[in-house]
Amino acid sequence: MKNLPLILSLSSLGIFGLLLSNKKKAKKKYKKGDFDLPVHVEKTYKKRSISKIDTIVIHHTAGSEKDTPKAIAKYHIDVNDWAGIGYHYLIEPSGRFFQTNELETISYHTKSYNTRGVGISLIGNYSLKKPYDKQLIALRHLINLLEKITEKKLKVRGHRELTGTTECPGLLFDLDDFRKKI
Ligand SMILES: [Zn+2]
């Protein structure tokens, strides 16, 4: 019983500390970045010249088809603790696409390929179903556009072809077949 006041005061300190850290967390977070998307309030991605780009890396978000660019950006900041969204483009199931980073931005999407790669991600999980035709049409369009901008033929790879640790852009995305039709 003698120790009780000490225990009480320690636990109230603990609660106080928790409140403080919650307050700190709530304070940090986002500011508005390029393309009207949230970016980390302190961190920033490095930049490159467009001439460094030689590879397009195809991804899927492996989440809901209804996820918005904003929600995906927040997830990359909150959960991955990145400077902003990892991808350069997102493509909805409808075929509508969004640029989400400048091409000069070295964002994070593929280990060892971030400096040279452009990350394009299909919103949805294409291990569960095939990607939508409209998404593939938009993806082809984007690849053509990027080859015009960079003035070179770009390698087109699926994330899983570059790192052996992921199904990305989904097991039902036939990469060889897609490349034949570019
Ligand atoms: Zn990926």
Instruction: Please state the domain extents for the chain.
Output: 3-27, 34-180
| 40 Cα–ligand 1 center, Å | 21
Give the CATH H-level superfamily of domain 34-180: Peptidoglycan recognition protein-like (3.40.80.10)
Tell me the mean pLDDT in the region 46-61.
98
| 165 Cα–ligand 1 center, Å | 10
Contacts with 117 (C-beta within 8 Å, 6 or more apart), sequence order: 53, 55, 56, 57, 109, 110
pLDDT of 17: 55
| 96 Cα–ligand 1 center, Å | 19
Q: Which pLDDT band holds residue 80 (cuts at 50, 70, 90)?
A: very high
| 113 Cα–ligand 1 center, Å | 11
| 81 Cα–ligand 1 center, Å | 17
Run of H or E residues at 76: helix 69-78
Residue 35 is classified by DSSP as G
Tell me the mean pLDDT in the region 55-66.
98
pLDDT for 85 beyond 80: yes
Pair 124, 131: CB distance under 8 Å:
yes
pLDDT for 121 beyond 60: yes
pLDDT for 27 beyond 90: no
Q: Which pLDDT band holds residue 20 (cuts at 50, 70, 90)?
A: low
Report CA-CA distances (Å) from 144 to 27, 45, 48, 176: 42, 26, 21, 17
How much of the chain exceeds pLDDT 90, in percent? 81
| 46 Cα–ligand 1 center, Å | 20
| 172 Cα–ligand 1 center, Å | 14
